[in-house]
Structure 1
Amino acid sequence: MNSVAIRVIPVALAAWALGGWICDAHEVRIGATISQTGHFATEVGPFGDFLKAWAQELNSQGGMPLDRVRVPVRLFLYDDRSEEAVARRMYERMATVDKVHLMLGPYSSPLTFAASTASEIHGIPFLAICANSPKIYQRGYKWIACLVDEAPRYTHRYWEMIKEESLAKSVSFLVEDTLHPKGVFEGARMLAQEAGLQILSVHTAPRDTRDFGAVILKLRAEDPDILFVSANIPFATLFMLQAREQGLKPREFHVTHHGGPFRKALGRAAEGVTGQSYWTPTMGGPGKERFLRLLDLSRISLEDYPWLPAYMMAIQVVEDVLSRSLSLEPSEIMKALKSSQTQTIGGRVWFQENGVGSINTYPSQIQEGSYQILWPKAVATAPHRYPAADQPRK
């Protein structure tokens, strides 16, 4: 029978462990942080519950498949408070105190940039999940691999759709001045040009901006077909509330992070907004039923947290990698990780030499309060509504 231990550590963070009574030689130790509080909590706050449900399920079946045996899992989870310094400290603890065999990265590029230094210093495999800024992978680190493709390609399917439709002719950009939104914007600007759109303007604003009035006035004068908002949920939500209130009406708002908290905050004003999603149940894929079961066990709504499929893909990669690793030696795990070709709910995951992965997002639109995948046609769950119903046509 597995035991559950709660460890109270400095700065009021908690580590959650499964199977703590088993000696170290006969367990797999995996560490991660979740932004349960702070700036990113709106995007990933309850994801620790999902990882706990996964570990509990594995241990109820005898543990993690490792070569030809099953080994109990011990999972260490910490709240990084959405702060880079805290994340760095927690991953250092995982390496030196918890002695983990594998690290799952925190949410966001800034936190991953900071946390992955512990992995590199101590030589521990680090699987980044939602962290795609090119700056992370330009440092020559050997112990990191990332589930997702680099930020500049984050919206490539959206621009393929726009080019194919040949309806939108112009775009303006609003960019949150942080790593991931800036990386996404750099790629989106080039992709928009390749799609034949005229770029009217680029507006960059600090993460903590509270008044968007001046920017909205300029955007109303420009009247772009597409207003592309590259931002995390708190920034995007506040901007959109003010934009709707002040009558800004492009033919389409494309908000890269338009997940559940954004939709709930805007209510009907979120209708028609497009953005990016990793997966919806209608897309199927290997592990679909298991993922939905883990969602039920952890009591998390996919509509509220559309980034969670990336975490499912990550645990699918972890299971595949450890099942092929000859031992829990860091070099063996890393070798298996870099050479993996894992089929997941979101597609095949493989890694480039610098660790960058293959998974990318799909354009989605809020229609009648639900998220619909728009492109490519092979996986689309609804047609693209352009212009949005409440926006004027030119």
Structure 2
Amino acid sequence: MVRQAAVSNTVAAVLMVVLLAAGFAGGYFTAAFTGTGQTEIATKTEYVTVGGTVTQRITITATTTVGQTSGPPLKIGMTISKDGLFAPLTSGYESFNREWLNWVNNVRKGVYVRDLGVRVPVEIIIYDDRSQPDLAIQLYTKLATEDNVHILVSPYSADIGIQLIPTVAEKYRVPMIMAEASTKDMWNKGYKYVVTSMVPYWEDNQNGWSASYFDLQANTKWAKTIAFVGWDITWAIDTYNSGKSLARKAGLEIVYDQLLTPGTTDFSGVIRELRRINPDIVYLAMFGPVNALFIRQAAEAGYSPKEYHVIEYGAGFVKSLGQLSERVTSEIFWTPSFKYYQSDLLVDLMNKAGLSWVDWQWTELRMIIFQMIISAVEEAGKLDREAINTALHNLQIMTVSGPLIIGPQGYGNIGLVAIQIQNGRIQTVWPRNLANATYLHP
């Protein structure tokens, strides 16, 4: 979620592209199937033009899950970031995709397509966008026009995602589900080929990103003052502005308010000011690894507020900070305390993928997206982009995070709950009916 100018557009020499598929089209790769429920891996090399002038050599790896399905595959396209700023936040999705593919193709036996009268296999085509906006646009164009996927799943970052809607989804009329990439300006332009499960989190009501957290503060009433620090980027600004309004409604006095240039990693000046002002809560609206960097720099400078609240923690946050992560609060769309549809399956897939819930925040959004895709395709009854898009815009289904209804503008109603890191674990602390632990505060 960084502005394009803040992200390096230097193209890496080699891109790893993973196609996780069932029933991958024969003839493109040379390898023999190994049997039902098994996988085959093959590679090939080709060249793609990135940024209009730079030709890069890429290695494509195809992983095919062989199941008892028939018919042409349902093709899902996406990028993840194996390198760059977003790698600690998204690289684990590759192993999660693999485990979900194994389940959908070999346990569920594919997705039923009414017009074909059969269950078809699912294929996921993934490219590495290296956290670079220009590269992401080129790769999503390739997914839409060359790979001919039926559905696109956005990359991490609203600042990349918002560029993909007019240039790819709307231009080529391919439905795109926004994952960790929703922002206010996506939903006021009349776009027709984009949806998300998330609430309009930029609002200063119960939909707000930190609404659950500030409701918790209004109920506990221990804190009196709060400071806001964030990067000046779309997602963070949406959350930052909503958070300030919600903080006031919760009775908190905002004693410090500073948006920083994207890419800022030296927080010494801000930390000196916070030591002088001494707010009860410091609210950090930056990426997870950057929030961790801020907390560590503050500790090294001898500063520690009564509580940190971060809008994201992500991979390595707890491990890198150790004891400094204790009692840090944040929010999330699902925790193991939820007992909604397929929550046990999500836990099982994460375990098989080797993903710790402490590290892989937002994996639940990927699970919700897969639930959306299955429901939309089976409702559409055909492997047709327009029919699938219509079905996505009319979804009313149960998900791991509860009931999902897609509204007229394309966004959903899945909101966030407040969590706290306690003894190295993520605990749900609010709302009360979903809490599995007591909120710890001074």
TM-score, normalised by the number of residues in structure 2? 0.83
CA distance in 2, matches of 1:148, 1:14: 32
Mapped contact 2:71–2:118 kept (Cα < 8 A): no
Mapped contact 1:258–1:274 kept (Cα < 8 A): no
**How far does residue 17 in structure 1 lie from its aligned partner after superposition?**
5.5
CA distance in 1, matches of 2:389, 2:43: 29
Mapped contact 1:278–1:346 kept (Cα < 8 A): yes
CA distance in 1, matches of 2:338, 2:75: 32
RMSD of Structure 2 on Structure 1 (CA): 2.2
**How far does residue 138 in structure 1 lie from its aligned partner after superposition?**
2.4
| Amino acid across the alignment from 2:85 | H
Mapped contact 2:71–2:120 kept (Cα < 8 A): no
SS of aligned partner of 1:304: coil
After TM superposition, list the pairs within 5 Å mapping 1:1-394 onto structure 2: 1=35, 3-9=40-46, 10=48, 11=56, 12=58, 14=60, 16=62, 18=64, 26-61=72-107, 62-67=109-114, 69-116=118-165, 117-152=167-202, 153-387=208-442
| CA-to-aligned-CA distance 1:115-166 (integer Å, 9 cap, x gap) | 2330110001111111221122223210000121233211111111111112
Distance 1:262 1:144, change over 3 A: same
CA distance in 1, matches of 2:382, 2:307: 51
| Amino acid across the alignment from 1:338 | H
| CA-to-aligned-CA distance 1:224-274 (integer Å, 9 cap, x gap) | 111100110222121111111212232211011123411111111111111
| Amino acid across the alignment from 1:76 | I
Distance 1:201 1:169, change over 3 A: same
**How far does residue 13 in structure 1 lie from its aligned partner after superposition?**
6.0
Aligned length: 387
**How far does residue 296 in structure 1 lie from its aligned partner after superposition?**
2.7
CA distance in 2, matches of 1:315, 1:15: 22
Q: Which residue of 2 aligns with 1:391?
A: none
SS of aligned partner of 1:98: coil
| Amino acid across the alignment from 2:111 | M
Deviates more, 1:269-278 or 1:51-60: 51-60
Percent identity, please: 28
Distance 1:371 1:45, change over 3 A: same
Distance 1:351 1:178, change over 3 A: same
| Amino acid across the alignment from 2:245 | M
Structure 2's unaligned 5+ residue stretches are: 1-34, 49-55, 203-207
Which structure's residues are more often helix, by fraction?
1
Mapped contact 2:380–2:388 kept (Cα < 8 A): yes
Mapped contact 1:17–1:76 kept (Cα < 8 A): no
TM-score, normalised by the number of residues in structure 1? 0.93
Distance 1:278 1:301, change over 3 A: same
| CA-to-aligned-CA distance 1:340-374 (integer Å, 9 cap, x gap) | 11211111122222211211221111111111111
**How far does residue 38 in structure 1 lie from its aligned partner after superposition?**
0.9
Structure 1's unaligned 5+ residue stretches are: 388-394
